[in-house]
Amino acid sequence: MSKVRAAVFASGTGSNFEAIMKEKIPGCDITFLVCDQPDAKVIDKANYFDVPTFVFSAKDYPSKQAYERVLVDKLQEAGVTWIFLAGYMRMIGKMLLDVYEERIINIHPSLLPAFPGKDAIGQAVEAGVGKTGVTVHYVDSGMDSGPIIAQEELEMFPDETIETLKKRIQKVEHRLYPRVIKDLMLKD
């Protein structure tokens, strides 16, 4: 069985990247990291796992299409056939969506369709909802609007803070995302 070659896109600390790497998912090699923040901690994690990294700043390109063209070229050179978004804080544009149709997935810290976009954890705490959770979904042209692959629910505590909820959500993410990726790789 040949292995899928995948890239992770991340913008921050890389805790989901690290969870995926530690899982050593059968049938899947993470062969590339794309990061749009030159000072992101995920870059150190990629170096630790010996994963080649492409770091860019969107402001260095005249348009989204321009930097996505570069990304597509880099990904294709690396033989990447799947993309896993893990805290990547940019909308995916048409160029990447066309090349990697139904092969880009994202993890989001809410029970979509509730609280799409940035600061979903803060939105949930502010709204005082009774439950929230984690969603893994396919990426489409909308904001966290692609078809849902899996969700896991968390009850909100009466004294929930952004910090306590973030820790609980991350525990779920670190277990759920590798499991979903493994299930998808078994079907691929």
Positions marked active-site: 108
The SS3 call for residue 49 is coil
Residue 47, SS3 per DSSP = helix
Contact 6, 83 (CB under 8 A): yes
Query: Can you give the three-state secondary structure of 66-111, one letter per residue?
Result: HHHHHHHHHHHHCCCCEEEECCCCCCCCHHHHHHCCCCEEEEECCC
Q: In angstroms, rounded to a whole number, what is the distance separating the alpha carbons of residues 86 and 34? A: 10
Measure Cα distances from 95 to 103, 134, 137, 143, 172 in Å.
13, 27, 19, 16, 31
Q: Which has the closest alpha carbon to 148: 120, 187, 176, 186?
A: 176
Residue 57 and residue 145: Cα distance in Å, rounded?
Answer: 25
